[in-house]
């Protein structure tokens, strides 16, 4: 499975991390390079400190500290063995998606008898401070091609149907290869979402924090996910003129 490269270059040093295809529409991602744990009353005196094993990550972080390329997040924690509270400070560098595709749609037309079209679409969901982006395609052919406007009328159901089609295709391919399918792992890695029950009333999501740029996973009910849809973007439109044999 092809992965998406996220990088940061500083004075000839390039940091590179890769994520599965679900990340293709996120422009930036936070990557943790160091952790400090410290007492509530002694915030500037860490009693635990661990940094990335590769020194170049630490060196680039310190060189770019307090710039837009780094950030620090402090969380209040609890040690369940001792019951004591402490704080944890995590240091991040910001990596940029080298495979991100900006929207480029200069032409859109449907309804010709000898053409077939495909819209590449990003559905954007905002769940408080976390963002989930779903990548899908909408195909149309000939005189009676469905307009994108009609497709939008029930875009969430179309997304769920598309997800189910991709899952079925994956399972069928595994059977042909005589491999044991792991649909949940495959769909989460590829699309960042997987239905957790047959009724598709609850989903597992992979999200990225809008401010923190951190990756997270959680389960969400269908209606809550549906309410969080804030944007639909066609980022690429392809049209092909069919031969007479194709159009027949």
Residue-wise pLDDT for 57-107, tens only, equals 999 999 999 999 999 998 888 878 887 788 889 999 999 999 999 999 998
Find tokens 């239905």 and name the residue: 195
Window from 46-60, 137-151, 201-215 with minimum mean pLDDT? 137-151
Cα(139)–Cα(134) distance, integer angstroms: 16
Cα(192)–Cα(216) distance, integer angstroms: 11
Q: Among 248, 239, 215, 223, which Cα is nearest to 109's?
A: 239
192: alpha, beta or left? (left if phi > 0; alpha if psi -120 to 50): left
Cα(60)–Cα(213) distance, integer angstroms: 18
What integer pLDDT is reported at residue 42 of this predicted model? 62
Mean pLDDT of the region 171-175: 95
210 pLDDT band, cuts 50/70/90, is confident
248 pLDDT band, cuts 50/70/90, is very low
Find residue 239's DSSP bridge partners: 117
pTM of the entire predicted model: 0.87
* Residues near 207 by beta carbon (within 8 Å), at least 6 away in sequence: 127, 130, 131, 132, 192, 215, 216, 217, 218
Contact 125, 132 (CB under 8 A): yes
- Give the residue extent of every domain in the chain: 4-97, 115-247
- Check pLDDT > 80 for residue 43: no
- Check pLDDT > 80 for residue 218: yes
Find tokens 């680039």 and name the residue: 60
- Check pLDDT > 90 for residue 209: yes
- End-to-end alpha-carbon separation of the chain, Å? 36
Cα(13)–Cα(20) distance, integer angstroms: 24
Window from 93-102, 177-186, 237-246 with minimum mean pLDDT? 237-246
What integer pLDDT is reported at residue 19 of this predicted model? 96
What integer pLDDT is reported at residue 87 of this predicted model? 86
44 pLDDT band, cuts 50/70/90, is low
**3-state class of 34 per DSSP?**
strand
Average pLDDT in the chain: 90
Cα(24)–Cα(26) distance, integer angstroms: 6
């Amino acid at each position: 499975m092809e992965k998406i490269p996220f990088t940061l270059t500083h004075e000839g040093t390039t940091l590179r991390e890769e994520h599965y295809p679900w990340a293709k529409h996120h422009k930036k991602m936070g990557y943790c390079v160091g952790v400090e744990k410290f007492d509530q009353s002694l915030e500037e005196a860490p009693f635990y400190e661990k940094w990335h094993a590769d020194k170049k990550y630490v060196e680039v972080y310190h060189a770019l500290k307090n710039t837009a390329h780094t950030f620090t997040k402090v969380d209040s924690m609890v040690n369940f063995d001792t019951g004591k509270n402490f704080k944890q400070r995590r240091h991040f560098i910001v990596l940029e998606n080298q495979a991100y595709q900006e929207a480029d749609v200069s032409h859109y037309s449907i309804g010709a008898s000898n053409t077939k079209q495909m819209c590449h679409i990003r559905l954007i969901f905002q769940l408080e401070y976390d963002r989930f982006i779903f990548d899908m395609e909408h195909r149309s052919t000939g005189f009676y091609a469905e307009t994108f406007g009609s497709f939008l009328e029930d875009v969430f159901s179309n997304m769920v149907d598309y997800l189910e089609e991709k899952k079925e295709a994956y399972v069928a391919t595994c059977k042909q290869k005589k491999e044991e399918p792991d649909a949940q792992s495959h769909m989460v890695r590829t699309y960042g979402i997987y239905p957790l029950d047959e009724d598709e009333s609850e989903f597992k999501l992979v999200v990225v924090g809008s401010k923190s740029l951190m990756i997270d996973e959680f389960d969400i009910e269908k209606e809550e996910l549906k309410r969080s849809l804030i944007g639909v973007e066609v980022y690429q439109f392809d049209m092909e003129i069919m031969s007479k044999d194709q159009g027949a």
